Amino acid sequence: MARRPVLVLAMVPAFTGDMFTPHHWERLDVLCEIADREPLTAFGETRAAALLERAELLLTSWGCPPIDAAVVARAPALRAIVHAAGTVKQHITDACWERGLLVSSAAAANALPVAEYTLAAILFSNKRVFRLQRRYRERRARRWWPTYEPGLGNYRKVLGIVGASRVGRRVLELLRPFDFEVLLADPTVTPADASALGARLVELDALLAAADVVSLHAPALPETHHLLDRRRLALLRSGATLINTARGWLVDGAALEAELQSGRIDAVIDTTDPEVLPADSPLYELPNVLLTPHIAGAMGAETQRLATLAIDEIARYVHGEPFRQAVTRADLARVA
């Protein structure tokens, strides 16, 4: 290879053990000169100054500090940032775009485990797994369980997908083998687009009123803040399940808490606002809530898929090819 650009890593060091296998390091060594395998966690330290001075490529992931004007100024050779995770909004600043840096993200790879989690949540929700597990534990005897949970099962249930994002589209793909009626609410798609995705396009209010399970996959944008407010949450059918693997930003937390405390609906919640709820939040204890600690996205061995995609992008850069998973400044107005 004619040229090996200098690569600097910036992320939480603990992630590299799961994310980068020996094969990943071998590929990176062939493609780049790795300035230091120990990632940067702050850009103001002495070691960071020496590494940034040489860096042509930054390989980032969760925990990368913001790459602001001061950082860009200390990195005269920097040309591209490849993010081995999802959103770049936390660390890519205006200074990066003004410098003309190329940016890529592994959001497409991170979408896959989120969609898988969502599919499992949908199937378990319609089987009333969470409620019946508790009933069985209490009674420890045979019962005719549909008596306790009318409408039990997945056959011909109505599913509502809110947002045809990367995750939303992958969920729609995974739902194809099942006997569901699938509704989609997204102002950016047409009825023909929705049909091609295996869904019927409807307005959000109609989706909420009709669906047995509603799954949120919209981006966190100013216009989606509390997209599901008190009025819209009240539209959910009694016995419906709300799944949120997107952002807590999308839901009015106080209104959701009130609905869940009433017992009228169920919820599978992987993302909250704030990110960790207060210790006294009733959502930790409510029997109709499955609350998980933001684990739907890539975790453990799943992060190796992110590393593979990121290194594929680095290979394209080294060979003078455009990024396949490029992110532009304009993209940030419509993606998570």
Per-residue pLDDT tens over the stretch 152-204? 999 999 999 999 999 999 999 999 999 999 999 999 999 999 999 999 999 99
Residues taking part in catalysis: 247, 275, 294
Give whole-number Cα distances, 46 to 52, 56, 65, 71, 330, in Å: 10, 18, 15, 13, 34
Residue 43 scores a pLDDT above 50: yes
Closest CA to 74 of 103, 105, 50, 106: 50
Q: What is the mean pLDDT of residues 283-305?
A: 96
Q: What is the mean pLDDT of residues 23-50?
A: 96
Residue 208 scores a pLDDT above 90: yes
Residue 1 scores a pLDDT above 50: no
Residue 138 scores a pLDDT above 90: no
Q: What is the mean pLDDT of residues 111-124?
A: 98
Q: What phi and psi, each to the nearest 5 degrees, are found at residue 21? A: -80, 170
> Helices (H), strands (E): how many in the chain?
13, 12
Task: Give the separation between CA 137 and CA 114, rounded to whole angstroms.
Answer: 29
Same fold, 6-105+300-333 and 111-291: yes
Work out the mean pLDDT of the chain and round it to a whole number: 96
Instruction: Kindly write down the DSSP assignment for every residue of 79-102, as one continuous string.
Output: -EEEESSS--TTTB-HHHHHHT-E
**CATH T-level fold of 111-291:** Rossmann fold (3.40.50)
Least confident of 142-151, 161-170, 207-216: 142-151
Report the chain's C-alpha Rg in angstroms.
22
Q: What is the mean pLDDT of residues 105-121?
A: 98
Amino acid, res. 252? D
Per DSSP, the three-state class of 333 is helix
Task: Give the separation between CA 259 and CA 278, rounded to whole angstroms.
Answer: 18
- The pTM of this model reads 0.94
Q: Are 90 and 68 within 8 A, CB to CB?
A: no
Give whole-number Cα distances, 88 to 59, 67, 92, 125, in Å: 12, 11, 6, 32
**CATH T-level fold of 6-105+300-333:** Rossmann fold (3.40.50)
**pLDDT category, 324, cuts 50, 70, 90?**
very high
Per-residue pLDDT tens over the stretch 216-252? 999 999 999 999 999 999 999 999 999 999 999 999 9
Domains of the chain, by residue range, sit at 6-105+300-333, 111-291
Percentage of residues of the chain with pLDDT beyond 70:
99
Amino acid, res. 41? T
pLDDT of residue 2: 57
260 Cβ partners below 8 Å, 6+ apart? 266, 267, 282, 283, 286, 288, 289
List, in sequence order, the alpha helices (H) in 44-165: 46-54, 69-73, 94-99, 107-126, 129-139
Per-residue pLDDT tens over the stretch 262-281? 999 999 999 999 999 999 99
Structure tokens at 284: 């930790």
